Structure 1
Amino acid sequence: MLPLASVTPPFWSTRYGIAAAVAVDDPVTRSLQLYGEWAEHETILLSGLIEEGHTVLEFGGDFAAHALWMSHVVGPKGEVHIAEPRRIRFQQACANVAINGLGNVFTHPVWLGRDKSSAALDTMTPIDGASANEKIRIVTIDSLRLDALHLIKVNQPHALANMLAGASETLRTYRPLLYARLSGLDTAQAEVDAIKALGYRVWSHVPYLFNIDNHAGVEANIFPGMVLQNVIAAPADSRFEFAERLEL
């Protein structure tokens, strides 16, 4: 048996609370460890859109890095729901939620899709952290029966179009804002078209991974030139307008 210290992940003091991550070499963990934050330019944009009492749904937990922030913003009367399909990452997100005492964050070990079923996670889409033959339950956003919804934040690649297909009732009822990372060159246009087909306007948001004003005050940039290909979308008949962004 390995000594406890060799299997316990380190704890980091981040901008929004205490965080830990399993030992995987990916941008999220490297950024949390070095800078005490992850993709802070996403939170800067969303900070003007999320308010106290709001309900937010995040697909792809990123170790709860942004859920820690959203929990504080929506406050005790709001809710943050995290859907994370990868087992170990789900457990780590739960741990980060627990050690920060976030009673308004709810975690769901599911894949958000167009219908309810189950599948082998590693055969559904090329994502990191999926064990061979690991089964995952697929549910629709509609089946979550949320009492309110103001924002859907999608971090999980190769999932957006199917997720939206399983959210027709929720989108029609609540008309939430959508903020999503596009999956890549081959699928980006189809993903944007899927959002527009729901009566949304879509704007580009290309945040850099490095934030010069990072929480740890580290000047070294380990993500030179690296950006996320994101979109922000709002119902066409809403008050939201992102004039400083390129509309797609």
Structure 2
Amino acid sequence: MNASSNASVAPFWPTRYGIAAAVATEDAVARSLQLYGEWAEHETILLSGLLEEGQTVLEFGSDFAAHALWMAQAVGRHGEVHVAEPRRIRFQQACANVAINRLDNVFTHPVWLGRGKGASSLGTLLPGSRGQDEKVRIATVDSLRLPALHLLKVNQPHALVDVLAGAGDTLRAHRPLIYARLSGMEDAQAEVDAIKALGYRAWSHVPYLFNSDNHAGVDANIFPGMVQQNVIAAPVDSRFEFPERLEL
């Protein structure tokens, strides 16, 4: 199959884990969902061996609910997936995908997860983003009062340190795994240090954006050589080990 065969305009996109409402393909996530029917599948390959039925996940940064569709299946009807997304349109698009797939175990929160409570402009929190004057509500992970948490997944760059600062009680109570996208060379060391300061060990995960075994069977690679700089972390006293990965 070539790259043009899946590029026609349609109201919905068939993806590996459900139906996604079509959105403007102006960023990597949307382009991947449209062309390949999946996004960052190498992340789900790693995490699929770690999630179990009945567990609870919190994800910051919805990515159009691309991974929430998978996580909802992974934790099953007795588990819960919580998705925090502060950007209004992104939030609405994520909600649409949750609704059309009838995911009763997914809960969406229109908030920016940080170290305190209040409000701010999107431009202050996420410089260079669209809608910089848009006001967003800030909340802490602790304020969500989750009764359980097995995985904290942070997709939003330049947010991890503040997310962890507002999650102290939750992390101490539930000791979840942490999976996060690092923010680049300037911030990565501080982000890893913040994780380790909470009594965690951290390992590098560098997944390619292109998956040759993608859902749509498309051979063309629109992300040549592109990888994400991610980290997987587990409490020092947990059973989890990742010996095949570089410990940070």
Q: TM-score, normalised by structure 1?
A: 0.95
Contact 1:21 1:92 in 2 (8 A): no
Could you say what the CA RMSD is over the residues aligned between the two structures, in angstroms? 1.2
1:21-170 alignment, distance < 5 Å: 21-126=22-127, 128=129, 130-170=130-170
Displaced runs of 4 or more, over 4 A? none
Closer/same/farther in 2, CA of residues 156 and 9 from structure 1, 3 Å limit? farther
Question: Any stretches of 5+ residues in structure 1 without a counterpart?
Answer: 1-7
Contact 1:118 1:137 in 2 (8 A): yes
**1:25 Cα deviation from its structure 2 partner:** 1.0
Q: Can you list the C-alpha shifts for 1:6-56, whole angstroms capped at 9, x where unaligned? A: xx9731000000002431411101100000000000000000001100000
- Equivalent-residue separation in structure 2 for 1:28 and 1:86 (angstroms): 15
- Equivalent-residue separation in structure 2 for 1:123 and 1:246 (angstroms): 34
Contact 1:182 1:188 in 2 (8 A): yes
* DSSP 3-state at the match of 2:94: helix
Q: TM-score, normalised by structure 2?
A: 0.95
Contact 1:9 1:23 in 2 (8 A): no
> Which residue pairs with 1:4 in the alignment?
none
- Equivalent-residue separation in structure 2 for 1:37 and 1:88 (angstroms): 20
- Equivalent-residue separation in structure 2 for 1:26 and 1:134 (angstroms): 19
- Equivalent-residue separation in structure 1 for 2:242 and 2:17 (angstroms): 26
Percentage identity across aligned positions?
77
Q: Number of residue pairs matched?
A: 240
* DSSP 3-state at the match of 1:187: helix
Question: Any stretches of 5+ residues in structure 2 without a counterpart?
Answer: 1-8
> Which residue pairs with 2:12 in the alignment?
11
**1:133 Cα deviation from its structure 2 partner:** 1.3
